[in-house]
Chains A and B, each alone.
Chain A
Amino acid sequence: MTDTKKLYDAILNGNAKVAAEVTQAALAEGAEPGDLVAQCMIPAMDEVGRLFEAEEYFVPELLLAGRAMKAALEYLRPLLAASGAKPSGKVIIGTVKGDLHDIGKNLVAAMLEGAGFEVTDLGTDVSPEKFVEAVGAKGANIVCLSALLTVTMPAMKTTVDALSAAGIRDKVKVMIGGAPVTDQFAREIGADSYSENASAAVASARKLVAV
């Protein structure tokens, strides 16, 4: 029997190859995909978040853990979809129009995915219209907006306004983040929360959709 603790360790140590191998072996032996997610993947990514908060892990360690998590998820995702398992929530994420800086956004996306959310990453320099369109197409309940520059922060407000104009603002929770962004700014533009980092974003998303 495959020791699924090895999956937990592989994610924590950022070893994508081992994460994929252990997942494949466990599934071949009849492990439940939902159990692997709940008992290995989510706890491992929570621990990664804790280590990041404690400044024992840094961006490279987060990137590697995220990559290992995704390697496992490659095998789990189709099975989860087929079984009709419900994600923790559906997230649309991107950097706002004018902003190409995406490492923070990528970390948040990976951590949310690792926490069991279904994440649609629209990439960088995303127009308000694209966010609106994706919310409708995916039936999302969370929208995450990222900006690194003070000069692109106004595009966050434009995006929140576009969700309102499209009549879907009350269907989604809007989370924002990025170096110059603050809690106060989130309130000013009518967003639901500001997160200081990727680990805090997971906590915030869980709270907002009451997972």
Chain B
Amino acid sequence: MKPRERVAMSLRREKPDRCPMQVSFTPEFAARLRADLHQGGAAMHNPHGGGNTYELERALGEDLLLTSVGWANSYYANETLGASGEAYTDEWGVGFRNQHYETRFGPGFYTEMVGFPLADRKALDTWQPPDPNRPELYHEAERLISQHKEEYYIVGVTVTTIFETAWALRGLQQMLIDFSEDPPLADLILDFPFRYHLAAAVRLVKMGVDMIWIGDDVGTQRGMYISPLTWRRFFKPRMAEFISTLKAINPDVKVAYHCDGNIVKIIPDLIEIGLDVLNPVQPACMDPEMIKKQFGDRLCFWGTIDEQHTLPFGTADEVRQQVLDRIEKVGYNGGLILGPTHHVQLDTPLENFWAMINTITGTERGSVHMPGSSNPVVTA
């Protein structure tokens, strides 16, 4: 079965030959995996798929390939904007700094926001958002669609759609305070990324992507970090417009929404405005089995493999068991794309990584460094 058919079938809530899979990696984990697979290729890796070669994804047997247009690419722009330095400013004026960490498998870094161009509201007098209609923003998407759409399910990524980009402009705490103290200002700032990412998504849908992936984190471990009422006031109408605009262009296009944490309280709202797929269903926050029981007849799920505890700190057997459990309890009638709930990070042992991949794809591949492995790895 072709990967794209496997995904389409699952999203129709029918059970394909195996559960479809999508896995992304931080650049550090991608480098480690590439070395493990004796694979060449560019050192740069954007987990949302801006400028990727997709060699890793295809070698693993992934079913969806991602192409990203929008602010989220700024997280991975240190090579292009910072000349591989420690700091850079993106085209929105958001300042980033490399923030280094150490794991038992080596060092890495995340780029973190340190400069917020609209922190002072007076900056609004002169600040301008970038233009989403520059043709060069879509070259990667064109290449991906022309080279791989025949085989793979193509996802246009416009995550950090409204809230996350807005608070990168304003600063998180100030943005949260604006919701209460100055709603018109909050509306004004939210509209910049909303309009930008909607324009990008419209163009990607017209180009022929199968799905648009939007996203904004509003969840915490145990609940939402803004009230459902605040979410309904500021986000629900914008997301409804976003989804209906895309579906008016292509009624068959699917829309997935990424939100970390526990957002059970707004899932009925998301269904009401036409959402097709919820990602990542973080199991340390929301029980995937319970969510499937409650909403599985109206919503499909993407993710569900625990990246907070099981993948980095559990055993390979625990990973295997979790994958089997998800297939049995969430994917039994389709409606599931399996994958980790975040880009796989450097703190994940390769044994756990391969346990996840093998259990999903029904293969017996493994790290060259693992005893008893059946390498060389067979690529798809």
With CB as the reference atom, state the residue of chain B lying closest to A56: B227
Contact in complex: B309, A180 (CB < 8 Å): yes
With CB as the reference atom, state the residue of chain B lying closest to A96: B101
Nearest CB in chain A: distance from B284 CB, A: 8
With CB as the reference atom, state the residue of chain A lying closest to B174: A63
Contact in complex: A98, B99 (CB < 8 Å): yes
Residue among B104, B112, B173, B347 having the largest count of chain A Cβ atoms under 10 Å: B173
With CB as the reference atom, state the residue of chain B lying closest to A98: B101
Contact in complex: B345, A150 (CB < 8 Å): yes
Contact in complex: A196, B224 (CB < 8 Å): no
Contact in complex: A106, B173 (CB < 8 Å): yes
A59 on the interface (CB 8 Å rule)?
Answer: yes
Contact in complex: B102, A98 (CB < 8 Å): yes
Interface string of A83-111 (1 = CB under 8 A from B): 00000000000000011110100100000
Segment of B175-183, B236-244, B370-378 engaged in the interface with chain A: B175-183
What are the residues of chain A within 8 A of B309 when measuring CB–CB?
180, 182
A27 on the interface (CB 8 Å rule)?
Answer: no
Q: Check A60/B177 contact, CB under 8 A, given A98-B99, A151-B345.
A: yes
Which residues B286-313 have CB closer than 8 A to chain A?
Answer: 307-309, 312-313
Contact in complex: B180, A151 (CB < 8 Å): no
Contact in complex: A151, B226 (CB < 8 Å): no
Q: Check A60/B101 contact, CB under 8 A, given A150-B345, A151-B347.
A: no
Interface string of A31-66 (1 = CB under 8 A from B): 000000000000000000000000100111101100
Contacts between chains A and B (CB distance < 8 A), count: 73
What are the residues of chain B within 8 A of A61 when measuring CB–CB?
180, 227
Q: Check A149/B226 contact, CB under 8 A, given A180-B309, A196-B221.
A: no
Contact in complex: A58, B225 (CB < 8 Å): yes
Contact in complex: A59, B345 (CB < 8 Å): no
Nearest CB in chain A: distance from B323 CB, A: 19
Interface size on A, residues (CB 8 A): 27
Contact in complex: B179, A152 (CB < 8 Å): no
Contact in complex: A64, B177 (CB < 8 Å): yes
With CB as the reference atom, state the residue of chain B lying closest to A100: B112
A192 on the interface (CB 8 Å rule)?
Answer: no
B9 on the interface (CB 8 Å rule)?
Answer: no
Sample of 23 A–B contacts (CB below 8 Å)? A58-B223, A59-B220, A59-B226, A60-B176, A60-B177, A60-B226, A67-B177, A98-B100, A98-B102, A99-B99, A103-B172, A149-B101, A150-B308, A150-B313, A150-B347, A151-B346, A151-B347, A152-B101, A155-B101, A179-B220, A179-B221, A180-B308, A196-B221
Nearest CB in chain B: distance from A184 CB, A: 9
Nearest CB in chain A: distance from B32 CB, A: 13
Which of B112, B176, B230 sits near A63, CB closer than 8 Å?
B176
What are the residues of chain B within 8 A of A179 when measuring CB–CB?
220-221, 308
A204 on the interface (CB 8 Å rule)?
Answer: no
What are the residues of chain A within 8 A of B108 when measuring CB–CB?
151
